[in-house]
Amino acid sequence: MIINHNISALNAHRQLGANQGAVQNSLEKLSSGLGINKAGDDAAGLAISEKMRAQISGLEMAGKNAQDGISLIQTAEGAMNESHAILQRMRELAVQSANDTNTDSDRAELQKEVDQLAEALTDISKNTQFNEKDLLTGAFAEEGLTFHVGANQGQALSVKISDMSADALNVTEDYTVVANKAAATEAGQIYYQEAQEPVEAQTIEVTGNTFTYTDASGAEATATWADADSDPAGDGSLPATEAGYFSEDGELLLQADAPFDGDEAGTGTGTAEIAATKGTEAGYYNSDSELVIVTNDEIHAVDAEVKTGINISSQTSADAAITTIQSAIDNVSAERSKLGAVQNRLDHTINNLGTSQENLTAAESRIRDVDMAKEMMEFTKNNILSQAAQSMLAQSQQIPNGVLQLLQ
């Protein structure tokens, strides 16, 4: 018998510590409801469940993205619904004007409504926005809008939305291009000058009243200021350039690093980069010899000098307008149909995302969550063992007392 080391007490103490640790572990799991509270509980299970959690949260956000995409599509499609109503009214007016029971004055009044309806179409195109994005201006006609509808990289779909303005639908108001500036201003129409020969941008060297330039054939040519101010419209206006222009006094004004102004006599020296394509206040000819006209703060490029739109001022033009408007109606219908198909696709995507999220959550739960009944059994067992170890530790402390009997 020994008294320096109580081996029984040490054993009971060790078992008590282990049982109390097991009890604490069970209490932690029962309190949190999780079978894995720290990496030591299940290192592999922790790594797998965290990856699943990333997928679950990604699927949840992808569902929200798809819902936002549906909202955007509904905004665009709802605006086109009104565009359809406008086009139907325009077609109705064209059919009415095509009937020869109407006089020219009647048709003029019908034309006024058609012009206003065309303006309304463009207004809808400009003003239809979702989160400050213009939807119907053609901004997304080429690259399209991307909806990220998956939890991982590249899981996205794209939708293109065409320009739904009156100009794009070819039902814009009827432009009348005239050569007389005063008459055009009074009538609110487009003023143009005779077409200028388009050439490449060039450096024009001005010396005295003569400037040297490269003509359309690429050969070097010279001209005096008097030769340049051709005034084709006959009303005192002169052709302009991007980098300079002719003033009403016949001065060539050039914009280089600093403005170079020639006086009436054409004296001065300087060089400037000038695009030789010439134009007017209301429009200009571009490098493709297309007439680009500017009206209502918009730029319209057309292939001919006269931009023809919806004109129902005569029986013949009204009859032709019916087909033009019907084509526009068909284009809007096709666009709405496309957006509707994408919306249905997103609906199915949302349903699939919900199913995937549910299944992944169930799988993650099996790994991460604790079986409360089983863990309660473990807690009860470890709690009883802990109490028993405490009792045995107390009993083991009495064993050395037997040594006293040998000393009596």
Residue 98 has pLDDT above 90, yes or no: yes
pLDDT of residue 128: 95
Q: Residue range 229-234: average pLDDT?
A: 39
Residue 387 has pLDDT above 80, yes or no: yes
Residue range 2-14, pLDDT digits in tens:
777 778 888 888 8
pLDDT of residue 37: 85
Whole-structure pTM value: 0.61
Strand, helix or coil for residue 87: helix
Looking at per-residue pLDDT, the higher value among 223 and 80 belongs to 80
Q: Residue range 175-185: average pLDDT?
A: 48
Residue range 135-167, pLDDT digits in tens:
999 999 988 999 999 999 999 999 999 999 988
Residue range 351-372, pLDDT digits in tens:
999 999 999 999 999 988 888 8
Q: Residue range 32-44: average pLDDT?
A: 85
Lowest mean pLDDT among 28-42, 110-124, 183-197, 212-226: 183-197
Find out whether 272 and 244 touch, Cβ atoms under 8 Å.
yes
Q: How confident is the model at residue 319 (pLDDT cuts 50, 70, 90)?
A: very high
Which residues 6+ apart lie within 8 Å of 34 measured at CB? 368, 369, 370
Phi-psi region of 132 (alpha: psi -120 to 50; beta: other; left: phi over 0): left
Residue 72 has pLDDT above 80, yes or no: yes
Lowest mean pLDDT among 61-70, 280-289, 354-363: 280-289
Lowest mean pLDDT among 179-188, 229-238, 384-393: 229-238
Q: How confident is the model at residue 39 (pLDDT cuts 50, 70, 90)?
A: confident
Residue 87 has pLDDT above 90, yes or no: yes
Q: How confident is the model at residue 240 (pLDDT cuts 50, 70, 90)?
A: very low
Find out whether 326 and 336 touch, Cβ atoms under 8 Å.
no
Element spanning 38, H or E? none
DSSP 207-242: ETTEEEEE-TTS-EEEEEHHHH---TTSSS---B-S
The span from the CA of 203 to the CA of 276, in Å, is 10
Q: How confident is the model at residue 184 (pLDDT cuts 50, 70, 90)?
A: very low
Residue 236 has pLDDT above 50, yes or no: no
In the chain, pLDDT over 70 holds for what percent of residues? 66
Which residues 6+ apart lie within 8 Å of 145 measured at CB? 69, 72, 133, 158, 159, 160, 161
Find out whether 124 and 116 touch, Cβ atoms under 8 Å.
no
The span from the CA of 166 to the CA of 282, in Å, is 20
pLDDT of residue 374: 86
Which among 349, 11, 327 is positioned nearest to 171, based on CA atoms?
327
Q: How confident is the model at residue 270 (pLDDT cuts 50, 70, 90)?
A: very low
Longest dimension (CA), the chain: 145
Q: How confident is the model at residue 345 (pLDDT cuts 50, 70, 90)?
A: very high
Q: How confident is the model at residue 400 (pLDDT cuts 50, 70, 90)?
A: confident
pLDDT of residue 206: 55
Residue 77 has pLDDT above 80, yes or no: yes
Lowest mean pLDDT among 115-124, 286-295, 366-375: 286-295
